[in-house]
Amino acid sequence: MTDAGREARLADVRRAVERVRARSVQAGRLVVGDRRGLALLLGSLCYIAVLTRVGIFITDTYTTANAFVALTEGRLGIERAVFGPSLDTPGMHVVDGQLYGRNYGQLVLSLPTYWLLEGVSLIADLRIALVAGWSLALLWFSVVLGRLLDHQRAFTLGGSAVALVLFLANVAVATPLPAEIVPVLAMQLTSVVAGALSAVVVYRLVGWLATPRTGVVAGVLLVLATPIGFWAPIPKRHVFTTLCVLLALFAFAKSRDPGTPRRNLVHGGAYAATALLAWIHAPEALVLFTALVVADLVSSPAARYRALPVVGGIFALALLPFFLTNLLIAGNPFVPPRLLASFDAADVASGVVDPGTGSGEQPPDPSGGGSDPNGSGSDASDGRVVGLLTRLFEAVVTAGTTFVGLLLGGIETARTQTSALYRTFVRSGYVVANSAASEEAINLSVLESAPILGGLVAAPFAAVQRLLESRLSANIDHQRLRDPRPATVLAIVVFTLLFTLLYAERLPLHAQVTVRYLLPLYAVGIVGLVLLTPIDRVCRTKTRTFAWATAGGVLIGGQVVAGFVLSQGLALGEAFQFHALAGLGLASVLAVGVIATPYTERFDRPVAGALGLATAGAVVFSVLVVTAYAPGLGRYPVDGGQLLPIVRVLADLLSAV
């Protein structure tokens, strides 16, 4: 009797466990897609963790970190400087004497990580827990990889051994993590996850538009061959921007296909990603929004306009957190923090700052405005709708004029200051204008940071070849733009142009290292690159060559480069410029190779090798920056050292030479 009862209860428990498991698998599949996506997520997490240093490395992170601490305590306003020397830090905004940060979307997304870390620190030493998490991710990664590559036994046993050894090695040299750094760590880990998810989304986008194999290569390139791996652990907005852009592109591409289930919802998802970006950094969201609208208008058949209410509804809904945050801070739902007055310690006494001044136009109506940011909800309801509409109109005008102003400025810069653009995109060198901020030449150009983009040289050749082929088959079809692939490429091109113009005026700039402002462009650049028909072919057919070239380049080339740089006793600026020149060299080799690919398949193997070496170059640079060059880049007071203790030991060894 009792036996049967126990049996039945056991079966119940088993069924419940099974149900939970099935649900989690379902939820996981929604995010990563399939086993390849899972492998990319885990592999990216493990790699980015190696590049993670715990701490604050750029002064405006003080602002967001202090805003985040306030948020964890349930307040929007900042009251004390937990991090940094004072509250007078870049990016601090003020309304009626109350201080606010910015990038609130990013901060809210980091909250769950903070709670998780707080919870874990109750039962475990945080450093050990992080090391354990990393080792377990590595173990899981090797198991998944073994299944994918059909070498289950070897990968599982090998992965177990490696995970165990690395865990023990890390524990052996572990140092405690200061408790007060947890908020910063939470922001960093959230950003790391965003970086790893970017690789997954690239895989899903390219995997769907081209082939899964090309998608995997694209995901790997995103993390290894671009500076995204380096920037992911540094809690700035750029990696979140990249993820939002990729999500929007993925949803947009999917919505071009009539066969997509819940198509309107997916279509709305593209705009929801834009809304999320607005919550993080509104001007960039405007660029993404414009690019999406343009691509949508061009690629939608007339019948698609029936989806407008659904798409618009989802967009409006997704914008609510953004509007709510603005309302609580500025008293006006349509004025994001960046349009507010900046905090300056000298101005504190004079106090009253009006949220409307960002545009230089007249202040918003008195019903809520500057007087009481939190109280506007209790105003008389008559004028509210009209007032709200007026404000919306004002906001659109402000945003529109600011935006157009920025773009025009960008065009002007592109026309008159070609050398600045050249410095930003091709060859950095020593930029005199920046010498006050950073005396050494440590800010690389886009191509120097990601030599892989040299492959984009193939684009015009591939396009012409394509055109010739379709002309021959008398098959030019204007409807083709409605297909997912060309429509996505169009969105990418428009986005790239507008995004470049947005920042053209301000670049080159100090504290960029690898042009972080343009981080999303690296991601869409990778997507554009592998979608070129010949490169797609190389990725698909010569994957092995690519993989071995990358591994060889990192393991052998990395040692040669490290040996050279350290034995020559190069100064920081010289070492960075050495990597810059090496990057340009790799980019040129790749560029020469890809030009042949549209016409012949004979050079596919060397091109795959060049892709691998360009990837390895970026990996070696990133690893050296966080180890050997880390002390030279400056010591900051908020510093918990490298996330993984063995990387810290490696860094000490390398910088001691």
Contact positions vs other proteins (CB under 8 A) = 121-125, 127-129, 132, 135-136, 139, 143, 152-153, 156-157, 160-161, 163-164, 167, 171, 174-177, 427, 429-430, 435, 439-441, 569-571, 573-574, 576-578, 580-581
Q: Least CB distance from residue 114 to other proteins, whole Å?
A: 18
Helix (H, G, I), strand (E, B) or coil at 53: strand
Q: Least CB distance from residue 504 to other proteins, whole Å?
A: 23
CA distance 619 to 227: 9
Q: Least CB distance from residue 429 to other proteins, whole Å?
A: 5
Encoded amino acid at 585, one letter: G
Q: Least CB distance from residue 294 to other proteins, whole Å?
A: 39
CA distance 499 to 361: 26
Reading phi first (left if > 0) and then psi (alpha if -120 to 50, else beta), residue 331 is in left
Q: Least CB distance from residue 516 to other proteins, whole Å?
A: 21
Q: Least CB distance from residue 17 to other proteins, whole Å?
A: 16
> What are the residues whose beta carbons fall under 8 Å from the beta carbon of 166, sequence distance 6 or more?
135, 138, 646
Which residue's CB is nearer to other proteins, number 142 or number 300?
A: 142
Q: Least CB distance from residue 440 to other proteins, whole Å?
A: 6
Tell how many helices (H) and how many strands (E) occur in the chain.
Answer: 25, 4
Q: Least CB distance from residue 403 to other proteins, whole Å?
A: 36
Encoded amino acid at 584, one letter: L
Which residue's CB is nearer to other proteins, number 524 or number 628?
A: 628
572, 633 contact by CB (below 8 A): yes
CA distance 237 to 227: 14
Token readout for 9 is 């209860």
Q: Least CB distance from residue 570 to other proteins, whole Å?
A: 7
Which residue's CB is nearer to other proteins, number 274 or number 642?
A: 642
Encoded amino acid at 262, one letter: R
Beta bridge mates, 94: 99
Degrees, nearest 5: CA angle 502-398-365:
155
Q: Least CB distance from residue 645 to other proteins, whole Å?
A: 9
Which residue's CB is nearer to other proteins, number 80 or number 635?
A: 635
CA distance 37 to 425: 31
Which residue's CB is nearer to other proteins, number 349 or number 436?
A: 436
Which residue's CB is nearer to other proteins, number 31 or number 124?
A: 124
232, 49 contact by CB (below 8 A): no
Residue 55, H or E segment: strand 53-55
Which residue's CB is nearer to other proteins, number 157 or number 348?
A: 157
Which residue's CB is nearer to other proteins, number 152 or number 418?
A: 152
Which residue's CB is nearer to other proteins, number 486 or number 632?
A: 632
Q: Least CB distance from residue 15 to other proteins, whole Å?
A: 22
Which residue's CB is nearer to other proteins, number 461 or number 578?
A: 578
Locus of tokens 């690389």? 444
Which residue's CB is nearer to other proteins, number 59 or number 156?
A: 156
Q: Least CB distance from residue 571 to other proteins, whole Å?
A: 4
CA distance 443 to 423: 10
Nearest to 49 by CA among 157, 193, 187, 261: 193
Q: How many other β-carbons are positioned within 10 Å of the β-carbon of residue 489? A: 21
Which residue's CB is nearer to other proteins, number 119 or number 312?
A: 119
CA distance 153 to 147: 9
Burial 3-38 (b: 16+ CB within 10 A, else e): eeeeeeeeeeeeeeeeeeeeeeeeeeeeebbeebbb
Report the Cα–Cα distance between both ends of the chain, in Å, rounded. Answer: 74
Q: How many other β-carbons are positioned within 10 Å of the β-carbon of residue 286? A: 21
Which residue's CB is nearer to other proteins, number 430 or number 636?
A: 430
Locus of tokens 């402000």? 398
Token readout for 350 is 């004079």
Burial 203-219 (b: 16+ CB within 10 A, else e): bbbbbbbbebbbbbbbb
Q: Least CB distance from residue 634 to other proteins, whole Å?
A: 13
